[in-house]
Amino acid sequence: MSHYTEFFINGQWVKPKGEQTLDVINPANEEVAATIALGNKEDVDLAVEAARKAFETYSQTSREERIALLEKVLAVMTKRQPDLAKAISIEMGAPAKLAKAAQAPSGIGHFSAALDALKEFKFEEEIGTTLVVKEPIGVCGLITPWNWPMNQMACKVAPALATGCTMVLKPSEVAPLSALILAEILEEAGVPAGVFNLVNGDGPTVGAAMSSHPGIDMMSFTGSTGAGRQVMKSGADTIKRVALELGGKSANILLDDVNFEKMVGHAVMSCMNNSGQSCNAPTRLLVPNSRMEEVAEIAKTVAAKVKAGDPDAEDTVIGPVVSKAQWSKIQGLIQDGIAENAKLIVGGPDRPEGLTKGYYVKPTIFSHVTNDMTIAREEVFGPVLVIIGYENDDEAVRIANDTNYGLSGYVSSANLDRARNVARRIRTGMVHLNGAPLDNKAPFGGYKESGNGREWGHYGFEDFLEVKSIYGYNVKQA
């Protein structure tokens, strides 16, 4: 790749207007993997100008033209899978196996889902003599995080392309390498000049310039709840639409009739996956008080098999967390758990034994946690699981809902109707029953401080569309 210090604007790789750069650190070895350019307001202005000009023609393209374009993108993206997987592993530390099996292919999943949705989506509806049309909203600002970089970029870029919008993307400056490859993919696929633009930079500079920009009609942001608040505030003056997918502290309720050996093991591995760096991770495990000791023992045994280490090693289960700042934050929260007298059953502070370099965190589990403890309230975003006891189904629901977040939830029971009933009472945007996986054609998003709007599949189109009523459209001519 030769574009580390360039941006993709108006169909061209261009030099930034400023001279500021940033080293991208490989979290597995703490070494510099690349040096990227950081943009400024002037770069954003140029990208927005290109996007606004391109919108005039791209917004008028037909469904068939956009279907053909998405098909070309998918073909090129499939070809570039090895490059994407390698970049993701280097930039954010995902084990090579995870990068190849899930991280990189997530882009194909979302573009395929958007393609399927585009073929069937109803852009027009007749209500009496009125024609209601859904039209592209305009220029979209897209800000994406580092934890599932390809996943989060694809589930914004794909619906924007499908609905006829143009866009400016700011990926995380911590993990920007896969974004540069995505720009190459879109360029090779023949996305028209100005439809997709990429500017690297940090949140306070490029992110803020995008969020407040009068030429951007809609912001789609995925990241922390605190940063999401700033995007919403910055967008307020221009009354732009702001779609947010933010943090979570998801409860995983095991009802008293489950196979605890199986479901506790599943709970531990689900929490630890991607080094715990998933907004929808089931980080609060709720179990009957009477089974607390048994659950703790099972969890301890399973966690012992979660090997943290070199992302390229065959036996590695989790890699490092993404950065020194993230590592330090997690260490502080683990210390909080100890100070609050939660029972540390495995893991704890510092790096795993034998690892002296890299931002590795011990797979850590606390039992006998109460829901008022810091580790039960704050999103750790690391491989840290807390086990909380409850007396009955009603208390389990109350604890699950006693959080500022509302992204996801998990309920397991041998009685599916019982699990369904509990799921309906949980105030979250998603609930998994008995370990059911995600579905990238179904909506993804949360309640409360976990955000607003929905992504994925045809639900992911709605934030990129405006609704227009044309009255008298179907009046018969005299």
Q: Using CA atoms, how far apart are residues 246 and 226, in angstroms rounded to an integer?
A: 9
Q: Is the four-CA dihedral 86, 91, 92, 93 of positive or negative sign?
A: positive
Task: Provide the greatest CA pair distance for the chain.
Answer: 85
User: Active-site residue 245, yes or no?
Assistant: yes
Q: How many CB atoms lie within 10 A of CB 57?
A: 12
Of the CA atoms within 13 Å of residue 343, those in its CB half-sphere come to 14
Chain centroid to Cα 144, Å, comes to 7
Q: Using CA atoms, how far apart are residues 236 and 249, in angstroms rounded to an integer?
A: 27
Q: Do residues 346 and 299 lie in contact, with contact meaning Cβ atoms separated by under 8 Å?
A: yes
Choosing from 245, 379, 449, 455, which is the catalytic residue?
245
Residue whose C-alpha is closest to residue 159's, from 120, 117, 126, 129: 117
Q: Using CA atoms, how far apart are residues 12 and 226, in angstroms rounded to an integer?
A: 34
CB-based burial, 231-260: b 16+ in 10 Å, e otherwise: bbebbeeeebbbbbbbbbbbbbbbbbebeb
Q: Using CA atoms, how far apart are residues 155 and 162, in angstroms rounded to an integer?
A: 11
Question: Which tokens hold the place of 76?
Answer: 């090129």
Q: Do residues 429 and 447 lie in contact, with contact meaning Cβ atoms separated by under 8 Å?
A: yes
Question: Which tokens hold the place of 342?
Answer: 């939660």
Q: Using CA atoms, how far apart are residues 130 and 367, in angstroms rounded to an integer?
A: 59
Q: Mark residue 477 as left, alpha or beta (left: phi above 0; alpha: psi -120 to 50; beta: remaining).
A: beta
- Which residues are catalytically annotated? 245
